[in-house]
Chain A
Amino acid sequence: DGGITQSPKYLFRKEGQNVTLSCEQNLNHDAMYWYRQDPGQGLRLIYYSQIVNDFQKGDIAEGYSVSREKKESFPLTVTSAQKNPTAFYLCASSSAGPAGVNEQFFGPGTRLTVL
C-alpha cells in the first residue's frame, strides 16, 4: 500500500539532546513537508522540500534542521536550540506541478516529549 510512514510513534528526549524524526513515503511525490502541532494552534510549517537536495524554511524553522537526500525520505532533526520541542510532529507529501495546489497526504505523526 502506498503511504507515508513516520517513526517512532512516541519519542522521549532529555533536554540538550538532538533527536531525529523519520519520514518515508512511497507515493512517488516530489514535495514533502514537516509540521508541528500544538493544542489550539493548528498546524505550523517547519520546513518543506519540493525536490531532492533542496528545502526551504517554513514559519517556525528555528531549532530544526532537515535533509532531502532521497525522494522518499525527509528526516527532521530537533536540535537542542529548539526551546520548546514537546509537540506532535506531522510529515506530509504531495505531488508537485504547475496545475495548482495539490492536496497533501499525511503520516500518522510522532509525539515528542522532552523530559
Chain B
Amino acid sequence: AQSVTQPDIHITVSEGASLELRCNYSYGATPYLFWYVQSPGQGLQLLLKYFSGDTLVQGIKGFEAEFKRSQSSFNLRKPSVHWSDAAEYFCAVGELAGGNKLTFGTGTQLKVEL
C-alpha cells in the first residue's frame, strides 16, 4: 500500500529565509505526487503536482518541488518565505487503481517569525 511520511511536524523559519519541507513516499509504480497548503479552518489548496517529465516542478506562490526517485522524496522548497506562508502543508501520493484516491501525509505546520 502506498504511504507518505512528512517527518517534520513543526518548522519555524524567519521571514526571508529559505524553506524546505520534506516528504517521502512509498509506492510501487511511478507516483503521482502533490503538495497542498491549508490555512487554519480552511480547505486545502493545491500548490503543485508531479506526474512525469521534468523532476523540478514549479507551483503557485513561488514554491517548487523536486522529485527524486532514488530517495523516494518530493521535497517542497521556497527561496524566501513570507509571513503569509504560515500554514499547514500536506504532501500526497496518488493511486491509479481504484478511484483516483490520494494518500496524505500527516502534515507540517509552518510558523514564520518576523
Say whether A associates with B: yes
A residues near B (Cβ < 8 Å) are 4, 31, 33, 35, 40-45, 48, 50, 56, 58, 88, 90, 92, 94, 96, 100-109, 111
Which of the four size classes fits the interface of chain B? 20 to 34
Given known A42-B106, A50-B99, A96-B100, contact A103–B41 (CB-CB < 8 A) = no
User: Closest CB-CB distance, A80 to chain B, in whole Å?
Assistant: 26
User: Within the complex, which residue of A88, A101, A107 is in contact with B100, where a contact is CB–CB below 8 Å?
Assistant: A101
What B residues does A58 contact at CB under 8 A? Answer: 101
Of listed B42, B95, B100, residue having the most chain A CB within 10 A: B100
Asked if B9 and A45 sit within 8 Å, CB to CB, the answer is no
Given known A106-B45, A108-B42, A109-B41, contact A101–B104 (CB-CB < 8 A) = no
Could you tell me the distance between the alpha carbons of A98 and B105 in the complex, rounded to whole angstroms? Answer: 25
Could you tell me the distance between the alpha carbons of A50 and B101 in the complex, rounded to whole angstroms? Answer: 10
When each residue 67-107 of chain B gets 1 if its CB lies under 8 Å from chain A and 0 otherwise, what string results?
00000000000000000000000100011101111101111
4 tightest A-B CB contacts, nearest first: A101-B94, A106-B43, A101-B32, A42-B106
Check if B46 is an interface residue, CB within 8 A of chain A: yes
Asked if B34 and A106 sit within 8 Å, CB to CB, the answer is no
Asked if B90 and A48 sit within 8 Å, CB to CB, the answer is no
Could you tell me the distance between the alpha carbons of A31 and B99 in the complex, rounded to whole angstroms? Answer: 8
Could you tell me the distance between the alpha carbons of A43 and B89 in the complex, rounded to whole angstroms? Answer: 12
